[in-house]
Structure 1
Amino acid sequence: MQYEVVHGEPRLDRVPPALRPLIGPCLAKDAAARPLPEAIVRSSAPPRGADRLWRKGAVAQDITTREHGLNRLTTVPGGVAPRSVSRRRLLTGLVAGGSVLAVGGTAVWWSRRTGPFDIPPAVRTPEARVFDPKKGDYVLGETPAPLWNVPSAVSDATPAPLPVRDVVIVGAPKGGIAARSVVDGTLRWSAEKVAATGRYLSLSDRLVAAADRDGTLVTFVASTGEPKWTSPAEAASLLAADDEAVYVITQGGRVRSIGRSDAGIRWTVGVDADLGKEAASRGLVAQGRLVVTAADGSVVALDTTDGRKAWDRREQSDDGRAKAAVSGRTLCVTGKNLTAVDVVDGKELWTAANPEPKAGITPFWGPPTIHGDHVYATYLNLPLRHDLRTGRGTDWNYAGLLECDPPSPLVVQGSGMWSVTVNRTEGGVNVVDLSPENRTPWVFRIIKNPTRYWITADANRVFLLDGTTLAALPVF
């Protein structure tokens, strides 16, 4: 044996091929040819980003599920819980209960069980047909009928409809929320204990998040309504969500982050702005920033990792109607002006020139919509289009386009730009062609509740909320 050590060659035929480049040099006869400890550490280091495997995704969700399950199983009757099972002990225990899966060269344990954090794949989004007069879908100069129309489908206090793949979420007539098919408007499922007025969110187009009447954050599989994970978030209303967390306004008027992998509270902070009541503030998440358009007209950006304030814009709007939309790092905010800022640091990129205001009317801009290289927003009652990069106004043919209701969102779907116009008793939905074909505009004269409407769109359908009626309109 000693002779072989000094003169022979090591037999590595039973060593896994992936380990031979590491073990072979360690057995070199010449000590100078053997790798130093630092080189061995570098060779055996996990791939870059491998630590994310345990912090997010299916494996992390499975670990958290088992952690919660073991803690529940070891709770003493009467509600007294012993010391929590550590994550290291949990990982060790998974060896016996799961199967081994190689991920990026690392062996991990994959459980065969399912739990509240095991989320099914997103269902396919059923796209509607784009109408074409050449195929007989409608007659040029005439407006086609809605795809479907369901009276009394929503409550009179519902938030805006929320399309999520094959369903659209609304406030249910008898309380709670309801999911209706985007294809025909039929009821798919409902959750009666949810407080719809606190708003609802889509989580990666797979789950719907909302708050119940006690402030508990609840989630449901969007397509089926199956309840999933919950969190005692003390939520009064929901702001926004990203891949890591759901962001809410608490019943105490603070902003809170709830982790999506474990339903735990990540941070809670106060915001130097009036968030209002009854879901008056709105939020969006981009580039590691939670942007809150507050009820007092301020815009505040928080770091999503710890909730610290990154930047703010005070008095963006005089009446609390500041709105925002984002594309990449460009955040467009409206109110007294249409302004673009860098969403990360708040640096102003441009401010659009306000057209000549009408005498005695305070100028303001309606909700912005970003589509491609342009941002659309209504100035007073005139829909305008600006270059997203420079802020310059663009030429646009307004022929046949009626004036917009100032609070109306501008929706781009298919080849059309959609807006709403109303008078004291009724209103309609206007559709102007954005393509070079410049087709005759559509006007749906169907709005019966001029003070209670909204439009949103997805998959070649425009969803119209009109009082308690929900409808889907075709696109060209």
Structure 2
Amino acid sequence: MNDRKQYAMKPLGAGDPIRLGPYRVLGVLGEGGMGKVYFGRDDGGGTAAVKVLLPELAHDPQLAQRFLREAHTARAVTSGGVARVLNARIEETDSRPWIATEFLSGPTLDDAVRQYGPFGPDGVRALAASLAATLRDIHAAGLVHRDLKPANIVLTSTGPRVIDFGIARPEHGLTLTTTGQVPVTPGYGAPEQVLGQRVGPAADVFSLGAVLAYAATGRRAYDGTHVAAVQYEVVHGEPELGSVPPELHTLIAPCLAKDPDRRPTPEQIEGAFAPPPGADRVWRTGPLAQDIERRGTEAERQATVLSGGSGTGPSRRGLLRTGLVAGGVLAAAGGAAGAWWLLREEPRVIPPAGLAKNAEALSLLAGDHGTAPRELWGPLPVAAQAVDGVVTTPLPVLDVVIFAAKGGGLAARLTTDGKEKWRLPGVRPSAGLVELPGYLFVTAGNDGALRCFEGSTSREVWSVGGADTGRILAADASAVYLVTRGGKLRAVDTASRKVRWTVPLAEGAVQAPGPRAATGTGTLVFFGADGDVTTFDTASGRTLWLLSGQAKSAVQPLVVNDVAYLGGRSLKAVNVSTGVPVWKESWKKNTSSEEPQQGAGGWGPPVLLKGTYVFALDGTSLTEVSRDSGLGLPTRRNVPGPIPHTPPVVEARTIWFVEAGGRGVSAHSTLDRGRFWTWSPESSGPWGISGAGNRVFLVNDGKLTAMPTID
């Protein structure tokens, strides 16, 4: 027996219509400051939720046009995953516009999670794959929904249905309304929506990530004591994903990236979340399925009973006293209410988030202050050995980590449990793996072609046969930068898939173990193997400036906005376009004049901390420097020195770096720089290290391992 509170469908009042077009009006499902939603039935027995403007507003031509625009917008989407618009027009008799949509009697996702608790991992996967397919169809129609949230998703026996196209607009339209309001639900609208910027399909992906986090935990990903606090967290804070199951964390987190270009596409989400067979039983069997069936039966019963009246006068209105289940009413109201300005509720106050997860993570990782935690998975003997003393750095993309495979080619393993997802022969991973926007990556074919693949599926997207790829250095939003097999620097345009420019390089710049590079705004900072630094204009290949003798070998540069940070004999910060120093004084070697070289010595590659500080290792010291002023914080000594050619990794609240001689990796807190532990101190030789999704991935001696971090 369902003991939930029952809510009555309201009877028709004196001013309510008896008929709207082909629909006989049976009752009031909901109402707001600008309109009402009625429960209607046509002569063929079909039910509908019919939305209509209030009489006093119906004569405003702007409101009427805005109202009907919603119907036309929703009609453009033919996906089975949305609530279909059945009919819409302005009545000739009273000029009141109305919109009729499917009556969806199932509960909203919000109702379902509140009543039955969070979905399990398989249920979340099924939900994600279905909603991603629906977003794909919406975007294919040239639209952006802009208000995907649990209350706008109705669960039916055939799957989730997306409703409410009230603020949907063509792709890249502005979010701000003419009154300057931002019609976005707190905690679900993307940062660019909150800021009133132009939005594209990636905004819906952000909303989907927030929806999935709620479905998996029953809690919002962004909390705050009031609306402004929630919106601030969306723009500047990090999502609360501590309760998300580990196997879902790395799938949901990318959807919530601040940068729209860093979010996956609906197609990639659909592939990454591919559910196991039978995962949709969450809405096909069990209590939720019974609830869906019960709501549908009750709606049909009322439609049959109420239609049996005379159709006029108080007697018919008096029949409208029986109750509909709350979720059924709300689903219909939400599905037909449509426009955000019609029946939108005021956002609820959200309680502040707790701090338990950080304490738990610190306890887990700190251990006995020197004892490493257990691996998440691995070490697995599945990776290729070093080539010319260099290990191919593993590349995390969406739900997988990609690496050079034992026996040749590439392989991908799930970040959650290390299980193999795909293998890719015919490529040369020693040329490097570089990620592109949209969760793509590039590597080299055995024939020197530059080849681009989807990270999660390994599907080839494009190939440039004339690239003559020797080593891939870096990429930006429009090009990939590489060294050819003949030792030249080359830019390949990712839009035209043609070589943009090629320039010669000094022989010493490309000798083993090879150069390093990073991109800035319109610039490529190239750190040659001979220790010279050259910056090129990415549009033309023209040299902008040259810095000789910065190091004895290449050190990976760091570019943040318009500043390049360089390791080597000293730690420098220079304007990326002019080469003019940003700091008055560079940080010199503290203990000796030893130059950096493969193995030890000098300043290693700098990395960014918290967006404010640059962290670098100088021999046996950890140093933190303000990236703007060059002022340094106290230095910690007696830290095993790094290998300059292996950049440290900052992931969550942990700094990881390879110790001198390759004897293990050390993890430190970014909060107090205290050393936690060293993992695999018996190891030696070169390492590959990368991080994503609160995981750090390590390759050493042919083994692949995933380690935890502080969340």
Query: What TM-score does the superposition give when structure 2 sets the normalisation length?
Result: 0.46
How many pairs are equivalent?
A: 359
> Using the alignment, how far apart are the partners of 1:356 and 1:396 within structure 2?
10
- How far residue 225 of structure 1 moved from its aligned partner, in angstroms, is 0.5
Q: Deviations over 1:4-31 (max 9, x none)?
A: xxxxxxxxxxxxx9xxxxxxxxxxxxxx
In structure 2, the partner of 1:378 is: 617
Q: Return the match for 2:375 from 138, 142, 146.
A: 146
3-state SS in 2 of match to 1:275: helix
Q: Is this contact kept in 2: 1:311–1:346, CA < 8 A?
A: yes
Q: Which residue of 1 aligns with 2:580?
A: 347
For residues 361 and 375 of structure 1, do their structure 2 counterparts lie closer, same or farther at Cα, with a shift above 3 Å needed?
Answer: closer
Quote the Cα distance in structure 2 between the aligned partners of 1:138 and 1:315.
41
Corresponding position: 1:411 with 2:411: no
Per-residue deviation at 1:223? 0.4
Q: Contact 1:387–1:393 (CA<8 Å) still a contact in 2?
A: yes
User: Cα offset for 1:316?
Assistant: 1.1
Structure 1 CA distance for aligned equivalents of residues 705 and 577 of structure 2? 38
In structure 2, the residue matched to 1:434 is: 670
Counterpart CA distance in 1 for 2:653 and 2:362 is 17
Q: Residue deviations 1:51-84, cap 9 Å, x none? A: xxxxxxxxxxx9xxxxxxxxxxxxxxxxxxxxxx
Separation in 2 of the partners of 1:315 and 1:361? 10
Within 5 A, what are the aligned runs for 1:35-74?
none
2:523 corresponding residue in structure 1: 289
1:166 and 1:369 mapped to 2: Cα distance? 24
Q: Secondary structure at the match of 2:549?
A: coil
Equivalents in 1 of 2:362, 2:563: separation in Å? Answer: 39
Per the TM alignment, residue 431 of structure 1 is displaced from its structure 2 partner at its CA by 2.2
Q: Percent identity, aligned pairs only?
A: 28
Cα distance change on mapping 1:103 and 1:390 into 2, 3 Å: closer
Q: Deviations for 1:179-216, whole angstroms, at most 9, x for unmatched residues?
A: 22211222221221111111121111521111112111
CA separation of 1:321 and 1:281: change in aligned 2, threshold 3 A:
closer
CA distance in 2, matches of 1:235, 1:353: 36
Q: Which residue of 1 aligns with 2:487?
A: 253
What CA distance in whole angstroms lies between the structure 2 residues aligned with 1:122 and 1:290?
Answer: 29
Counterpart Cα distance in 2 of 1:358 and 1:397 = 17
Alpha-carbon distance in 2 for matches of 1:139, 1:281: 36
- Per the alignment, do residues 447 and 274 of structure 1 end up closer, same or farther by CA in structure 2, a change over 3 Å counting? same
Taking structure 1 as reference, are residues 103 and 247 closer, same or farther at Cα in structure 2, changes over 3 Å only? Answer: same
1:201 aligned to 425, 434, 438, which one?
A: 434
Shift of 1:341: 0.6
Match of 1:307 among 525, 541, 559: 541
Q: 1:264 to 1:288 in 2, by over 3 A?
A: same
Residues 79-118 of structure 1 aligned to structure 2 (within 5 Å): none
1:237 corresponds to which residue?
471
- Relative to structure 1, is the Cα distance of residues 348 and 226 closer, same or farther in structure 2, using a 3 angstrom cutoff? same
Residue equivalent to 1:366: 604
The CA distance in 1 between the partners of 2:443 and 2:624, in whole Å, is 34
CA distance in 1, matches of 2:539, 2:551: 28
Identify the residue that residue 159 of structure 1 maps to in structure 2: 392
| SS at 2:505 equivalent | coil
1:389 matched to 2:651? The reply is no
Q: 1:385 to 1:446 in 2, by over 3 A?
A: same
Q: How far apart are the structure 2 equivalents of 1:245 and 1:405?
A: 31
SS in 2 for 1:349: coil
Offset at 1:329?
1.1
What is residue 38 of structure 1 aligned with on the other side? none
| Contact persistence 2:443–2:451 (CA under 8 A) | yes
Counterpart amino acid of residue 497 in structure 2? A
Separation in 2 of the partners of 1:325 and 1:189? 32
Is residue 570–residue 586 contact of structure 2 (8 Å, CA) maintained in 1? yes
Give how far 1:279 is off: 6.6
Aligned AA (2:687): Y
Distance 1:237 1:300 in 2: 17
Take 1:103 and 1:366, find their aligned partners in 2: how far apart are those partners?
42
Identify which of 183, 188, 199 aligns with 2:416.
Answer: 183
Map residues 205-224 of structure 1 onto 2, 5 A cutoff: 205-224=438-457
Say if 2:631 is the partner of 1:420.
Answer: no
2:498 maps to which of 264, 275, 292 = 264
Distance change (3 Å), C-alpha of 1:359 and 1:256: closer
The answer to whether the Cα contact below 8 Å between 1:376 and 1:410 also exists between their aligned partners in 2 is: no
Equivalent residue letter for 1:206:
Y
Give, as a single letter, the amino acid of the residue that structure 2 aligns with 1:460.
N
Between stretches 461-470 and 344-353, larger displacement belongs to 344-353
Letter in 2 for 1:434: T
CA positional deviation for 1:359? 8.5
The structure with the greater share of residues assigned to helix is 2
1:149 and 1:130 mapped to 2: Cα distance?
A: 25
Question: In 1, distance between residues paired with 2:573 and 2:479?
Answer: 26
Q: CA shift at 1:262, angstroms? A: 2.3
> Is residue 170–residue 179 contact of structure 1 (8 Å, CA) maintained in 2?
yes
* Cα displacement string for residues 269-328 of structure 1 (whole angstroms, at most 9, x for unaligned residues): 22356332467112211110011111111111111111111112111112x133311111
Mapped partners of 2:625, 2:365: distance in 1: 31
Return the letter of the residue paired with 1:435: L
Secondary structure of the residue aligned to 1:384 is: strand
CA distance in 1, matches of 2:678, 2:413: 22
AA partner of residue 574 (structure 2): V
- SS of 1:323's equivalent in the other structure is coil
1:120–1:206 contact (8 Å) kept in structure 2: no
- Counterpart of 1:417, as a letter, is I
Question: Contact 2:392/2:688 (CA < 8 Å) preserved in 1?
Answer: no
Q: Which residue of 2 aligns with 1:133?
A: 360
Question: Greater shift after overlay, 408-417 or 143-152?
Answer: 408-417
Query: How far does residue 381 in structure 1 lie from its aligned partner after superposition?
Result: 2.4
* Structure 2 unaligned spans of 5+: 1-64, 66-139, 141-169, 175-264, 274-355
Cα shift at 1:121 = 5.2
Number of the residue aligned with 2:406: 173
CA 130–168 in structure 1, closer or farther in 2 if over 3 Å, else same: farther
Contact 1:422/1:450 (CA < 8 Å) preserved in 2? no
Give the direction of change, closer, same or farther, for the CA distance of 1:131–1:159 in structure 2 (3 Å limit).
farther
Give deviations 1:134-182, integer Å, cap 9, x for gaps: 8974674243211111321210034111222222221110111222221
Is contact 1:402-1:430 (8 Å) kept? Answer: no
Contact 1:457 1:463 in 2 (8 A): yes
Moved more, 152-161 or 350-359: 350-359
| Secondary structure, counterpart of 1:257 in structure 2 | strand
The structure whose residues are more often strand, as a share, is: 1
CA–CA separation in structure 2 for the residues paired with 1:215 and 1:274: 22
CA distance in 2, matches of 1:273, 1:172: 30
Partner residue of 1:23?
Answer: none
In structure 1, C-alpha distance between the alignment counterparts of 2:589 and 2:408, rounded to whole Å: 44
SS of residue paired to 1:432:
strand
Task: Check whether the contact 1:237–1:278 (CA below 8 A) recurs between aligned residues.
Answer: no
Question: TM-score w.r.t. structure 1 length?
Answer: 0.68
Contact 2:532–2:551 (8 Å) recurs in 1: yes
Task: Give secondary structure in 2 for the equivalent of 1:274.
Answer: helix
The alpha-carbon distance between structure 1 residues 308 and 359, as it changes in their structure 2 partners (threshold 3 A), is closer
